[in-house]
Structure 1
Amino acid sequence: MPKPRKMQVSLDATPYYHCTSRCVRRAFLCGYDAFTNTDYEHRRQWVEDRIHLLAKVFCIDVCAYAVMSNHLHLVLHINQQKALALTAKEVCARWHRIYKGTLLTQKYERNENLTDVELDAVAIKTELWREQLFDISWFMRALNEPIARMANAEDNCTGSFWESRFSSQALLDEKALAACMAYVDLNPVRAKMADTPEKSIHTSLNFE
């Protein structure tokens, strides 16, 4: 039985994690599918754009990434101290970039007058969001769910796009972190999608 995500992530052990998501049945739903003669290559850009947006919203640093034809790799650094240093208004502003939030938090960000009871409700919500801003599961959810919806809308279908869960592996020391980042950077070369890491696309190494 797989362990709950909260048991796999421990900031006391390390803030660095290697996360992987795969398309269902490992189908080429983000690349060129030779079996169906369908080109989904443009979806890799969707994923890359979303990664960069979330890196600006979450208090999670993206150390390396590679968007492949049927899966993606991310090396993430959880920046808890950054999240704890945010003001409540900064938390709201970040969260509202990707989610609507609530009517009260929207009013709060606009500096509208709120009662003490309403301010207490906002405080409870923003503290919850603060914790989620350095939560890998929330980062991956915010990455994968919109991509799945966009792909299903494009294909005019329903159902799963990604496998049910992403995988995460703790990187416990600098050696493991360096090795993992090199592994991610070399993924397109290993998959024969590029001759050299410098020529690979949709990777952190080649991001402009």
Structure 2
Amino acid sequence: MEKRRVGAVLRVLLPVAAALTLTACRHPVGTPSTPATGSGDGSAPSGYGVEFLGPADCSSRGEAFREVSCGSEKAAARVLARHTGAPSAGPPCPPTTDFVLHISRGGPSPGDPGGQPRGYACMRNLESPHPGDPGQGGGPLTVVGDCVHGFREGEVRETACDGSGRRPPEFEITSAVARRALCPDTTDLYVRLGGDRPVGCARRM
């Protein structure tokens, strides 16, 4: 099982002050795989649902993510949604997702291509912090209310709006629209978000 890091690199669509024409989608930054407890085919341990970490199930936190009762003191996060296949080809996670667990057959590590991805679980912590909430600087999605800083030419990375992240915020995404022409005149930066309103209108802070 692999947990996706909360931060992600986003492509800038077109800064107002510079003519950039990058159109590639955002690229999440991964972390080393974490093995899951359960059978090698991704089924749940005895006593739980037929699907390992299905919707509304809970997991523990530590060296390995295990499915536990949501009433257990070991429960740390709840499954908001569970999908098969890869996130790049499947439905997006809910906006309140804090992190994504990639559930694989046998839980392969990045250097071991033997396991094939079985799906992914969109997770939310049972208690704070919630990096997926607007302005908190993390989560697999970038939404209205999030802040970003310059990363590489034509790219930005999400960071906490209150300045508590590794890098201070430079722009705040104030709205999301279907196309750039619908952004306010005060927009300083356009960021690709995805979804049915794929353009983020951001203002310099």
Q: Is TM (by shorter chain) over 0.5?
A: no
Q: Greater strand share, 1 or 2? A: 2
TM value normalised by structure 2: 0.25
Structure (1 or 2) with the greater helix fraction: 1
